[in-house]
Each structure stands twice: as C-alpha cells, then as structure tokens.
Structure 1
Amino acid sequence: MKVLRLFLSSPAAVIGFALFLVVVAMAASADLAYPGDPLDLAGRPLQWPFTNPRFPLGTDVQGRDIAAVIFHGARVTLAIGGAATAIAMTIGIAVGALAGYHGGLVDEILMRLTEAFQTLPNFLLLLVFIAVFGSDIATVILAIGVVSWPASARLTRAEFLTLRSREFVQAARVLGMRDLPIIFREILPNALPPVIVYASVVMAVAILLESALAFLNLSDPNVPSWGNLIGTGRAVLRTQWYVSAIPGVAILITVLAVSLVGQGLNDALNPRLKGRP
C-alpha cells in the first residue's frame, strides 16, 4: 500500500510509531508486570530509583511503587488521550462539515460559536468546566474533548469549502442524493486526510492538559495517571525530583511519539507527496 510505504519511508515516523508501541505494550502488560492496585502503599516512602530491587524506579511520597504507577498510568493516559480526541474530532467534524457544506447563515452561526470557544485559552476554559462539573475522570475526558474541537472544525470547514463544488458532488446532487449522504458519504472521506493528521495533535494536547490538571490537583486522584504522580512529587521537587521527573519523561516520550506519528501521516497523506516514488 502506497500510504504505508510512504509512512515507513520516514525515519521520524518509524521512531514515533516504535515509541508509541512501547507505551501500548506497557499499558497492555500492566496487570501482568504489576498486579494489584498501583495506588496501594508498597514500601517506605521516597526510596530513590535503583536502591531497592523491589522498586526499580523508587517510591513516591506515599510509598507507592513508581514503576507500577507508570505501567498502569500508560493505560490511563492512552484512554484519556484517545477518548478526548474522539470527542473533540466528532464535534469538530460535525460542526465543520455542516458549516462548510451549507455556507450562508448556517456557516455564520456555527463559526461564531467556534470563535466563542476560541476566545478563552483551552486550559482556562477547561478549569471552568472542572470547577462547575467536578474532577472525576469521565468529566475530565469530556471537558478536554469539549474545549479541543474548534481547530478541527475550522480545518474540516476549509476542506468542505474546497470540495463542495467539485464534479462528484454535483453528480450526487443530480442523482437526487440528500444533503447528509452527500456530506458523510461523498465529501467527508475526501476531506479526512488532513483531519486525521490533526487528530494526533489533539491527542498530544489532551495528554498534556490532563497532566496539567493533575499537577494542580484538579484531576481525579483515584486513577493512577502520570499527571497525578507528577502532582504528588511537587512538594518534594527540590530534594526528590525523580518523583516528578520519571512520569514527566513518560509524558514527553508519549507526546513525542504521537507527534512523530502525526508527522509521518502528514507526509504519507499529503497530496503533494503522493507522486513521490
């Protein structure tokens, strides 16, 4: 397949995909490598990495095994990033598709709504949602998705504006197809490549937003997320910096992997590069 060959021809994309597979493998093997609740107390607090064979990455301020939290946190991080991205892209694609296809008053109303969401920074709007609706993990995921859709809506709208007057759309109208089938069966598949690429950006941002909330103790404390581990290490950052540094590196690797995969998809799906041998 040509797209796959173009993707694999990019060293950055291959590295990113390999790193992403490592994170997925950690999430899949968490129960086998570290059975039980990773939030349970495991030993003496604040043991440095590699000083106790039982805790290769040390323990945090509450005596929890950092390695166990890292493995189980990979599952939480991927779930948060994936679910929030799905919510954001669903809203964004629906709004952008309707605005770009219909134009006129529909476009004006939907774009003003999009601009209203973009007036405030994402994180500030996210704080408002958390303050109003609470900080359980389902609410955090929904809130991240709700504040992250405007850019994908604008991108989808731009694609629809360029495609809605093409010959295959005119032919579908002549054949009597209704608007919704034209939008979702004819135009949307042709508009998806850049939107799919942008989804990697949304996922990376979603992971960072949840980590920022957890660092401020505003995320769900009952889940073993990397952000929560960073937050618990904030009080001992000057002396036991490893408590925050280890999950910080895990977040960095995951965000880098998602970004590199997105870059590879952009190279593979970019129409200007499809003629490349």
Structure 2
Amino acid sequence: MTSLDTDLSPAEPPRLVVFWRRYRRNRAALLGLVIFVIVVLMALTAGLVDPGDPLRRAGDPLTPPFVDWATPLGTDQLGRDVLSGVFYGARISLLIGVVATLVAIAIGVVIGALAGYFGGWVDDVLMRVTEAFQTIPNFVLLLTLVAILGSKIEWITLAIGIVSWTAPARMVRAEFMSLRGREFVDAARNLGVSNTAIIFKEILPNALPPIVVYASVIMALSILLESALAFLALGDPNYASWGNMIGQGRAVLRSAPYCAVIPGIAIVLTVLSFSLLGEGLNDALNPRQKKQ
C-alpha cells in the first residue's frame, strides 16, 4: 500500500459519534432522552415559566384545571398553583436523584473496588458488611435513617444514597475481579505503580460502563423513595416536591383527583425516562451483549 492510499483511508469516527449512532438505534431510548430533556428544561425554567412561590397561595382553593389561565393546571386545597409545583418539583426530584446517585456510586465504587482488587480477608469483611445492608429492605432502612437524621432534604438525599450503594458495590467488585489479572494491570505492577493508582487509573475506567448504566436505575429509585417518604408525610415541607404534592393531594383525592394525579404522572414519566435511558446506554456501551 502506498503512502497515498494510506492518506486516503477513512479515519475512525470519534467515540462520541459512535456512541450516538448506537444509542439512536433504540427508538425507546430516544423517547426516554426526549422526556428526560423536557424534565430538565422544566427544572431549569421553573422560575421563568412561573416565577411565583409554589408554596404560596395563587388563587382560590381547588380551582379545576383549565378554568383560570392564571393557574392553568388548577390549585390545591390551599390555593397553591399546581403548575408551579410541578415545575419546581422537577428541580427537587432531579437534585435528589443526581446527588443520591453520586453518593451511592461513590460508596459502592470504593467498597467494590477494594473488595475486588485485594480479595482475601478484605473481600470477606466488605462483602459481609454489604450483605448485612442487603438483609434490611431499602425502604425500612431509609425510614430508620430519616427518623435518626431528620426530614430535611439534605438528610433525606444522603439517606437515599446510603441505602442504595450495595448493588453498585457488587457490580464493581465483579468487574474488578475479572480485570485485576489482565496484562495491563500486571504491566502497571511491574512498573512500580501504586495500588491506588492501579485501582482508580487503570482498572476503574474499564469497569465504569455497567456502573454508568446502573446509575439511571438508582436515579429512578431515588425519586420513588423520596416520593414514598413525602407521601407518608416524612418529606421536607419547606420544598415543593412531587411526593409532597401527592401526599397532600390524597386528602382531596375524590373531590379533586388532579392534585395527586398530575404530579403522579410527572413521576411516572420521569422514572420511565430513566429506565429507557438506561436501556439505551446499555445498548450503546455494550453492543456485543445485544447481539448475543
């Protein structure tokens, strides 16, 4: 082959382009991305679309939707604007989902990496701790932590992250156990690279794809857990969240079902978007798995 032929050979597309080509093949994943973008835009424009305080009275109590265009989705039993609550609730739900997911992934990565890399007694101890957490249902443990820490949104978010780290830890451990014997790890050891550098710079980047996919599951579960707490009147009343709206709307469920149905639909669509995003990420990051 001449040098001219080499110069004319097509260059490989960037990884981001390849990722997007794989992702867009899944139409359901594209739908999930569209819904997720809409929810993000709602969170970002909450103060622009409806600058009013979602916790303050905006009209007569229990005004039905599409009756007063000042409150197009109606008002609840206290006269608060449902539309404003939905937009501001998107901001709270995404904040809880993202922060709780980061907490869960951080704890899971550290514990799973140490257990999978070192093995032996380190693995035994860390996995016994993981199993101890898994013996208690997540929601029961969450109720306990909220009862101890309090119902502020910061503590609720931290508590959700604490009860969600076990599955990522097991996934990271499995990935590390399969990667710690590879040639590139042995080469790093022979060069005198420290264990910390090997764990976080050599092995962890290769173990991240399944964790990135599972992060979408944790975000969806985080939103559902916060909503369940708020439904039981254990949420933070100082913030407008979809769970708080549903919990307060159950008192007028028969006379004004929209107070609970509208935020409920928002939760369902948001959780669905995360599920579809996870499916698309799995197809894009693990194309071989789809073919098998």
Give the TM bin, normalised by the shorter chain. over 0.9
Alpha-carbon shift at residue 274 of structure 1 (Å)? 8.6
Partner of 2:215: 199
Distance (Å, rounded) in 2 between the aligned partners of 1:75 and 1:162: 39
2:115 maps to a residue whose letter is A
Deviation at 1:3, TM superposition (A): 1.5
1: CA distance, partners of 2:186 / 2:288: 25
Candidates 116, 125, 132, aligned match of 2:141: 125
Root mean square deviation of aligned Cα: 1.2
Q: Could you list the per-position Cα deviations for residues 127-165 of structure 1 after superposition, in whole angstroms to 9, with x for gaps in the alignment?
A: 000111100000000000000000000000001110000
The yes-or-no answer on 1:12 pairing with 2:28 is yes
1:85 is aligned to 2:101: yes
3-state secondary structure, aligned to 2:69 = coil
1:219 aligns with 235
CA distance in 1, matches of 2:123, 2:74: 55
* Kept in 2: contact 1:268–1:274 (CA 8 A): no
Deviations 1:33-85 (A, max 9, x none): 11131111111111111121111111011110000010111111100000000
5+ residue gaps, structure 1: none
Distance 1:175 1:275 in 2: 38
SS at match of 1:27: helix
Q: Distance in 2 between matches of 1:187 and 1:159?
A: 9
Which segment is superposed worse, 48-57 or 199-208? 48-57
Following superposition, which runs of at least 4 residues in structure 1 exceed 6 angstroms of deviation?
none
Q: Aligned partners of 2:260, 2:287: CA distance in 1, in Å?
A: 42
The answer on 1:42 being equivalent to 2:58 is yes
Q: How does 1:13-162 map to 2 (within 5 A)?
A: 13-162=29-178
Question: How far apart in 2 are the matches of 1:225 and 1:109?
Answer: 39
Matched positions, count: 276
Any residues of structure 2 matched to 1:173-188 within 5 Å, and which?
Answer: 173-188=189-204
Amino-acid identity (%): 59
Contact 1:50 1:56 in 2 (8 A): yes
What is the TM-score with the length of structure 1 in the denominator? Answer: 0.97
Task: Flag the structure with larger Rg.
Answer: 2
Tell me, yes or no, if the aligned pair for 2:52 and 2:84 is still in contact at 8 Å. no
Matched, 1:230 2:246: yes
Q: 1:271 to 1:184 in 2, by over 3 A?
A: farther
